[in-house]
Amino acid sequence: MFKKVTVALIAISTSVLVGCGSTPPIQAQDKTVSYQGKTLTFGGQYDKSRNELALTVNGDPVMKGRFPPYTPTLNLNADYQELDISSYCYFGSVLSRDGGVFGIVASAVQSATSKSGDKCEVKIAGEIVEHLYF
């Protein structure tokens, strides 16, 4: 009986610790834009553990992608309510997570090009209408 209770307690403790170790996605602050009489609210989240970015329009997930290895940029496209919506995203955290020599070089490149942080330019018909910061 004592062994069963001990095993059960260990199993519960392990699952609690694993759950506490997961990192929640980083949310962008929603931004609202009026375009050709339509009100569009852009938002998004970046799941660092899965290296996955998802952008939303009016709460609908319309663009999703992952950053390729050693690449801090990601271009996404979608059609939403007959609008051509796209984004150009630059995420400094994608580079910094690699660490080591590559992380040092990436930091130097970021400084030289005056780029840092995690952000997406949101475009409608190729025109930048808003920026999302993560």
Quick one: 55 exposed, middle or buried, by C-beta within 10 A (0-12, 13-18, 19+)? buried
pLDDT in tens, 45-98: 999 888 899 999 999 999 999 998 878 899 999 999 999 999 999 988 776 665
What's the DSSP call for residue 81? T
pLDDT of residue 16: 43
Average pLDDT over the chain reads 81
Tokens standing for residue 4: 């069963």
Give the whole-angstrom CA distance, residue 104 versus residue 20: 30
